[in-house]
């Protein structure tokens, strides 16, 4: 062969096959893409994402074609490009830019995609403008948020100032007022304890629990007397939870009453203690009873009749007071101690975790508010315990106005009421530290053994055989 023919053969071998060349593939892809795009558009199924994806794919394939052309040293016979490919780039805002060659046409084997490219550019420009508008709106919202936060801070400070002023005004009104008993309800015998629920007052006395209707006019009226198992026995412990009333007697019984029946009926009488049941506490489906037999019983209220789950032993004298708070039970005793028990549901057997010995006499009253435990004693003192410490530590010992045993507590909001065997009721302000005595109520002529509070009304029961109802609106 001549030298010219040999060169022709070499070029033929080096040139890509027409059927598989990038040019042929791109032509088929472009035509197929246009047909699919038209079909999708007719059915309303084409969107900006599809257009954008097609355009990007097109530009990438154009680049591949141009690279193939450079490798082989020439374009295919069907390529109408002038050799200057368009450029693709992404700016700082993430917007795609297509720069067409020459006269602005984007060609692929003679097919002009300029219209699609211009549409894509217009869409990108619109999206860029929308992004900038959203950024501007975000800045406006940030400024508004900062202004709102400033307003909230100002309003919070204003509310705090108003609350402080309200507290000061209330204290002043209390100091200037002289709370008087709205009513004095009389009994034929000693009244030991009381509880209030809605418009009914339950008073434990000798041989019965008396139920008072607080809405009766012109004054509360006894509407029911719960005797039965209490006949001939002093009723000491008293608690109410939902539609059940729980009473403890001097012979060691715990009586459960159904308040939904009319008249009120006895559901169960639990006889396990060997001495007076002085205090009762209820938590969910568990009942705790404290007795002068030196023990505390934990009862399962889901059983019928309720059964003893555990007997808590540890006190060396009669147990006088109980209060349950979460997983802890606090008990006060004639042995002058407060014992702290872990009674969590996850504990198989309740355990004694702390013994507090700061009182020098019988611990008669207990109450919990937040992280503070209040204990009242026959040593005439009230101790405030810090429950955030383990064991609890003495936070304050209040200099009381009581000259005798502190026998009863009631708490409502930032007020603590304490009753004593000195016939008086002290009113304490818990909003300050240490709590301050702001009022002493006089009216009973004998020991104040029980207190209850509901709303602005305080109820007190005394050995003088009366129940007094006090209006504490200003205290």
Confidence class for position 78, pLDDT limits 50, 70, 90: very low
Largest Cα separation within the chain, whole Å, is 143
Work out the mean pLDDT of the chain and round it to a whole number.
82
Confidence class for position 88, pLDDT limits 50, 70, 90: very low
173-187 average pLDDT score? 81
pLDDT of residue 156: 83
Whether the Cβ atoms of residue 115 and residue 121 lie closer than 8 Å to each other = no
pLDDT of residue 85: 42
Identify each DSSP E strand in 113-220 by its residue range.
181-186, 191-197, 200-205, 209-213
- What angle separates helix 48-72 from helix 22-42, to the nearest 10 degrees? 170
Residue with tokens 């109802």: 469
Summarised one tens digit per residue, pLDDT across range 8-64 is 656 655 554 444 554 455 455 555 555 455 554 554 544 444 444 555 555 555 555
pLDDT of residue 38: 55
Report angle CA 460, 204, 233 to the nearest 5 degrees.
145
For the chain, the distance separating the N- and C-terminal CA atoms, rounded to the nearest angstrom, is 124
Residue-level length of the chain: 475
Whether the Cβ atoms of residue 25 and residue 31 lie closer than 8 Å to each other = no
d(CA 453, CA 156): 31
Taking the whole predicted model, whether its pTM rises above 0.95 is answered as no
d(CA 339, CA 335): 10
378-388 average pLDDT score? 95
Whether the Cβ atoms of residue 295 and residue 313 lie closer than 8 Å to each other = yes
Whether the Cβ atoms of residue 230 and residue 252 lie closer than 8 Å to each other = no
Spatial neighbors of 473 by CB under 8 A, at least 6 apart, are 456
């Amino acid at each position: 062969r001549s030298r010219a023919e040999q060169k022709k053969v070499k070029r033929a071998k080096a040139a890509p096959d027409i059927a598989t060349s990038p040019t042929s593939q791109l032509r088929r892809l472009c035509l197929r893409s246009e047909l699919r795009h038209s079909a999708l558009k007719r059915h309303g199924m084409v969107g900006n994402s599809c257009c954008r994806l097609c355009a990007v794919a097109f530009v990438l394939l154009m680049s591949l074609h141009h690279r193939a052309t450079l490798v082989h040293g020439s374009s295919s016979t069907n390529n109408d490009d002038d050799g200057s490919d368009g450029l693709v780039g992404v700016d700082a805002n993430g917007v795609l830019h297509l720069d067409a060659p020459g006269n602005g046409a984007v060609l692929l084997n003679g097919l002009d995609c300029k219209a699609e490219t211009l549409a894509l550019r217009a869409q990108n420009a619109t999206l860029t403008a929308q992004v900038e508008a959203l950024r501007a709106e975000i800045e406006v919202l940030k400024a508004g948020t900062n202004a709102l936060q400033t307003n909230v801070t100002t309003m919070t400070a204003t509310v705090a100032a108003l609350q402080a002023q309200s507290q000061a005004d209330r204290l002043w009104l209390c100091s200037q007022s002289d709370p008087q008993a709205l009513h004095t309800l009389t009994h034929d015998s000693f009244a030991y304890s009381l509880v209030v629920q809605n418009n009914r007052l339950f008073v434990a006395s000798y041989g019965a629990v008396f139920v008072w209707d607080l809405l009766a006019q012109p004054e509360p009226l006894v509407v029911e007397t719960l005797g039965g198992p209490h006949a001939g026995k002093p009723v000491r412990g008293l608690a109410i939870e939902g539609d059940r009333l729980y009473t403890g007697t001097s012979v060691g019984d715990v009586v459960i009453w159904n308040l939904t029946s009319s008249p009120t009926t006895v559901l169960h009488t639990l006889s396990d203690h060997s001495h007076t049941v002085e205090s009762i506490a209820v938590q969910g489906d568990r009942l705790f009873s404290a007795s002068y037999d030196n023990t505390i019983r934990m009862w399962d209220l889901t059983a019928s009749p309720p059964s003893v789950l555990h007997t808590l032993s540890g006190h060396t004298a009669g147990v006088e007071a109980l209060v349950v708070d979460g997983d802890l039970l606090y008990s006060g005793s004639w042995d002058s101690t407060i014992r702290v028990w872990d009674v969590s549901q996850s504990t198989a057997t309740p355990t004694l975790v702390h013994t507090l010995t700061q009182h020098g006499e019988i611990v008669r009253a207990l109450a919990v508010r937040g992280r503070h435990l209040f204990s009242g004693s026959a040593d005439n003192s009230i101790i405030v315990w810090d429950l955030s410490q383990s064991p609890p530590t003495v936070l304050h010992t209040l200099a009381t106005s009581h000259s005798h045993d502190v026998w009863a507590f009631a708490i409502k909001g930032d007020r603590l009421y304490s009753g004593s065997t000195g016939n008086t009721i002290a009113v304490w302000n818990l909003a300050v530290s240490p709590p301050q005595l702001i009022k002493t109520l006089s009216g009973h002529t004998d020991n104040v053994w029980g207190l209850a509070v509901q709303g602005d009304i305080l109820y007190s029961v005394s050995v003088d055989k009366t129940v007094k109802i006090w209006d504490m609106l200003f205290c």
